[in-house]
Chain A
Amino acid sequence: MSRAELAEPSSRPARFDELREPNGLVRPHWRAFARTLTQLSPGEYERRQLAARATVQDNGVTYNVYDDRGGQARPWQLDIVPFILSAADWKHVETAVIQRAMLTDLLLRDIYGPQTLLSNNVLPAHLVTGHPQFLRPLCGAEPAHGVHVHLYCADLARGPDGSWRVMASRVDAPGGLGYALENRLVVAQTFPENFADMRVARLAAFFNAYRENILALGQSRRDRAVLLTPGPYNESYFEHVYLAHYLGLTLVQGDDLAVRGGEVFLKTLTGLERVSAIFRRVDSDFCDPLEFRSDSALGVPGLMEAVRAGGVVLANALGGGVVESPAMDAWLPAVCRALLGEELKIPDIATIWCGTEWGRKEALARMKHSILRDAFDARPMFSRRSSARLGADLTAEERAHFETRLKHRGETLVVQEISPLGLAPVFEDGHFAAKPVSLRVFAAWTPSGWTVMPGGLTRVAADDSVRALSMQSGASSKDAWVLSATPVDNFSLLGNGGKSLDVRRQGESAPSRAMDNLFWLGRYAERTENFVRILRAVAARVGDEPAAALEVARKLLVPYSMTSDTPIEAIADEDDLTRELQILVYSTRHGRSLQNLLARVEQAAWAVRDRISLDTWRTIHALAKIEARPDEEDEFEPAQARFYLDSLVRRTAALSGLAAENMTRGPNWLFLEMGRRCERAQHLAWLVRQTVGYPDARETDHMRIVLEIADSAMTYRSRYLNVFQLVPFVDLLLLDENNPRSCAYQLTAIGAHLRELPRITPAQRSDVPRTLVQEMRTALAGASPARLDFCEHGARPGMLELTGTISSGCALLSDGIADAYFQHSSRSRTGAAGP
């Protein structure tokens, strides 16, 4: 990047330029970094940007966009140029954020307590009791130790004169900490020299303070601490996984928790374990379906009662959403004077609440040059479903509508100034540009006062428009570097030097929902491998042995074609078959297609992302995103399909290898394995049944193909050369306990795994799984070759019976394991019929 390009002054004087002073000189705190940038060759810069992006994608850092169909996860956008703040700048931000955090906590204490601000007419009652997030059941229920806010978060931006403003505050379930941390790890690696030389303040001590002080509020440190997430479909699920790991918390969903006698418990394989602290990422009104939103499936019935009983610390405490409204911005200066006796150190963006005569008059006068917004709409401005509109954009009809609403229901509206955000340098598409940014900062409660994370999540607007700042509308992010005047503290939570190791609680807990997901991950992964192998066997023969391809397809693709357009039995020729293969292999819409199955594998893995290694996740992620996959609209190319299916076989093998070699033999591994073994046993029994249940002339050919599908061709040949006979075939695939691809082997393994699992508690059902496994093993052991081979009326009744026993036994086993360990019971609402 040439010096000239970087030196180009900002052409928009109305915005603050982070990099340069108005005279064009690079600001002192940017100089060291700017020097590096001008010294790096464009090629080197590009290389670092790509490496950073690859790390982000490999780590599976995503931000789900809710509204997209299927809740597709999108890679997190990161610009590697950090946002740099001088020590002096930061000092000001830090004190202002501490003031805000204190103020917010006091404000909530008053709102859910004595409400003196309302009775003294400091704050209009409208702003509190009219707010949909004013949660009435919380009134009078003081949170643990009277602390309402443990983590405060504010979005800051600079106005044209460089002074800071608060764009929004977040106190209900603030997000962004995990993304800020991930950005830091990636960017510090990207510019290791600068990061070390420039005395960039470290983040770990902040996270430690955040965690330790919440844990200290809990009743006993031996109890469990959990991070409560809305689940894998939440836009920030990645962050929840990441934070839970970093802070040493068990990641849970509402269903994993149970309230008994005023206390909260985690449901695990071995029963209930007491939870003393919940790091909450579920919005307050979703937390207890009985007392708040009854349509919430995310919460824990009875949680509010546990809060009243003081049996659990929620961080943050429930109910913070009531102070997040834009309308509150208009009143904070008065609230700050009343509660702290001082002025706000950093103001909010100028806001007029239209619930007063004066406010309505001002609104009418200013609306053309302002933003109009619902008074209680805390969504990021101009994000999806945000109510914000530019006054200048209104049609005549909309303006009339607005004016009517202003007259009748002015209290539900605010008018806010349009504040041009400051510009910071970004690198994109091979060159530097300046883009509007905002900075999300975080403060954590400690018994001795608030501590502010020296850094934050910097968000970069997609373009210059006021609408462009929300992550949903394509904005990007940056790391924020706070320069320190003194040497920095190298304390790290990820290293092993800290005193923090003793609080790691992960690894010992096994929430039953997570085990359920792992079981199914095992089943889907195995099913994928089996399906791919069958598809490959068919695809491999389409060109050379079309008759064999058709026969194999009829015998073995039957179950996968049940919902396809043509029943496979009706497929007459090669053309029909290739059409069918095209759908089964590539279609993303077909319910029984390979792509659909791969998506299910990825979903199951995503739901237990906190329990599988990064490498395992990367392997699974890569399964669904193979670059070589042809477009589904293209014509079916057998060679290309073989290549694609071959690569899938290798990757599924890598996946089972990772599980076998890299997972500790705890419950996670046991359930994943049992899922896989159960699926494989069922599949083998089915393969054998389809091949030799009803004898036909080409039986030996089919045996050869099935041995290949079951990856046992080598073993067979080493024992029997090229002579294919029924009894050795069945022995190898069903009965031989030494063949890792036989039914007997799977059942022996499941039996051993079941013995490893914690004893089933008396409250759970009887030991159905072990009994079933024993029954199936007995059936296999007692199978006589003569009986299996016996044939009458074109069928082998002994074979059909044995494979039927295994098939139905495995289905029962899967249900039996679920019944014994996963405690499935559906939750529903009951209500008396309305009057």
Chain B
Amino acid sequence: MDYLVTHRTTYRYVQDVSHSWHLAHLRLRDTANQKVASSEIAISLEPDSIASRTDYFGNPVEWFAFDRPHTLLEILAESRVTVERPPERPSRESLTHERVRALLENPPDAEARDAVQYIFDSPMTAFKSDIAEYAGESFPPGRPMLAGAEELMNRIHCDFRYDTSVTDATTPVDRVFEIRAGVCQDLAHVAIAAMRSLGLPARYVSGYLLTRPPPGMPRLVGADASHAWFSVWAPPFGWVDLDPTNDVIVGETHVTSSWGRDYGDVAPVAGIILGGHDHMVDVGVDVIPA
């Protein structure tokens, strides 16, 4: 499928912002089944400094700063992308979770070595509660990695209520686990924390959903904003993406933007402002077949 993804972020400040600095993960990356034809960002105000880079995880990132007063900032990202349906990956054919642990202990290649970082707590998935007990139910001895992860996704989907009013971007994963509710970012963090509590590698993926589904298909939750899910390392298939909000294996209706250890690594737009008093942010996302 070919898509046109537009992502508009508008900041309105109550008073002048004298200086500001921003980090944006808005351009899309290629993946095993996604090819980016073009991905550009346009900023309403000419930045005083700007740099485009690729971050540690291989995501495109923009750093930019303003040194003159402003009360409005609009960042528009526009991307054309082709997403293929991922190949069949029968979950029983993935390695057992014990084998995955053993592989990570002595990583045989660069891919395994890279996966090591995803078994450790990261700032937004550090947990104190006994999430390991919850996770353990899906990983009895000898269970194939992907089978366990799929079941975990399904359980989170059933046990947690999708609710946009109970959490914000900084709600700790422990709190989400306690109240059993949150948005896609929270559900992804719970899944990641659960995997890592057993020493299993999981990462955070940020992206988009098709805004209006093809005829006959249900409209997925989270389609009107940027979306998020988690990914597990399940050799021999490599990384497999799972969407606990919609209880589906990620397919050709999900467009990948970036990945990292958690939301903090790939927030679409992060910023520090001087002044401004208070700010309002407005995000509009549109994903249409192209």
Contacts and interface: CB of A to CB of B under 8 A. Distances in A.
- A-B interaction: yes
Interface of A: 118-119, 121, 124-126, 129-130, 132, 136-137, 139, 258-262, 289-291, 293-294, 301-302, 305, 308, 355-357, 404, 408-412, 825-835
B270 A830 contact: yes
A829 B222 CA distance: 24
B272 A290 contact: yes
Contacts of B22: 290
A305 B47 CA distance: 14
A125 B201 CA distance: 14
A294 B283 contact: no
A212 to B, nearest CB: 32
Contact of B272 (A137, A301, A356, A409): A301
A446 to B, nearest CB: 32
* Contact-residue size bin, chain B (C-beta under 8 Å from the other chain): 35 or more
A408 B198 contact: yes
Given A258-B19, A827-B273, A830-B11, A408 B283 contact: no
B49 A130 contact: no
- 7 closest pairs, A vs B, by CB? A136-B56, A129-B117, A834-B169, A130-B120, A830-B271, A825-B275, A301-B272
Contacts of A308: 51
A834 B120 contact: no
A129 B281 contact: no
A792 B55 CA distance: 76
Nearest to A134: B117
Given A130-B117, A301-B21, A834-B185, A137 B269 contact: no
Interface string B105-135: 1110010011011011001000000001000
B275 A826 contact: yes
B57 to A, nearest CB: 8
Given A119-B110, A305-B63, A411 B274 contact: no
B225 A835 contact: yes
Contacts of B198: 408
Contacts of B67: 260
Given A294-B264, A409-B199, A828-B279, 16 more contacts: A125-B117, A137-B55, A290-B21, A290-B23, A302-B21, A408-B199, A825-B275, A826-B274, A828-B272, A829-B271, A830-B269, A830-B272, A832-B9, A832-B269, A834-B185, A835-B226
A125 B107 contact: yes
A834 B263 contact: yes
Given A289-B272, A290-B272, A357-B105, A835 B206 contact: yes
Nearest to A293: B123
A831 B117 contact: no
B56 A828 contact: no
Contact of A412 (B65, B120, B274): B120
Interface in B41-75: 48-49, 51, 55-57, 63, 65, 67
Main secondary structure, interface of B, reads mixed
Contacts of A121: 106
B5 interface: no
A291 B23 contact: yes
Interface of B: 9, 11, 18-23, 48-49, 51, 55-57, 63, 65, 67, 105-107, 110, 113-114, 116-117, 119-120, 123, 132, 167-169, 183-186, 197-199, 206, 222, 225-228, 263-265, 267-277, 279, 281, 283
Given A118-B113, A827-B273, A830-B273, A139 B56 contact: yes
22 contacts: A125-B113, A126-B116, A130-B119, A259-B65, A262-B49, A290-B272, A293-B123, A301-B21, A302-B21, A302-B49, A404-B132, A408-B132, A826-B275, A826-B277, A827-B272, A830-B20, A830-B272, A831-B169, A831-B267, A831-B271, A832-B267, A833-B169
Given A125-B117, A290-B21, A305 B51 contact: yes
Given A302-B21, A830-B273, A261 B267 contact: no
Contacts of B184: 835
B166 to A, nearest CB: 12
Nearest to A408: B199
Contacts of A129: 116-117, 120
Most chain B CB atoms below 10 A, which of A258, A261, A832, A833? A832
Contacts of B268: 832
A305 B23 CA distance: 11
Nearest to A303: B21
Nearest to A129: B117
A264 to B, nearest CB: 13
B49 A305 contact: yes
B113 to A, nearest CB: 5
A260 B274 CA distance: 14
A825 B55 CA distance: 31
Contacts of A404: 132
Contacts of B65: 259, 301-302, 305
Contacts of A831: 169, 267, 269-271, 281
A404 B199 CA distance: 12
Contacts of A260: 48-49, 67
Contacts of B183: 834-835
A299 to B, nearest CB: 9
B49 to A, nearest CB: 6
Contacts of B264: 294
Contacts of A355: 105
Given A136-B56, A258-B19, A411-B199, A290 B270 contact: yes
Contacts of B167: 834
B163 to A, nearest CB: 13
Nearest to B126: A132
Contacts of A261: 48-49
A781 to B, nearest CB: 38
A126 B51 CA distance: 31
Contacts of A409: 119, 197, 199
Contacts of B279: 828, 830
Given A262-B49, A825-B18, A119 B269 contact: no
Contacts of B56: 136-137, 139
A304 to B, nearest CB: 9
Most chain B CB atoms below 10 A, which of A125, A260, A293? A125
B12 to A, nearest CB: 11
Contacts of A259: 21, 65
Contact of A119 (B113, B132, B275): B113
A834 B167 CA distance: 9
A375 to B, nearest CB: 10
A411 B269 contact: no
A356 B169 contact: no
Contacts of B228: 834-835
B67 to A, nearest CB: 6
A136 B132 CA distance: 27
Contacts of B48: 260-261
A305 B51 CA distance: 9
A268 B151 CA distance: 60
A5 to B, nearest CB: 52
A764 to B, nearest CB: 12
Contacts of B222: 835
A119 B109 CA distance: 8
A547 to B, nearest CB: 51
A830 B273 CA distance: 7
A118 B117 CA distance: 12
A835 B185 contact: yes
Contacts of B168: 833-834
Nearest to A824: B275
A375 B48 CA distance: 43
Contacts of B206: 835
Contacts of A290: 21-23, 63, 270-272
A139 B57 CA distance: 11
B49 A829 contact: no
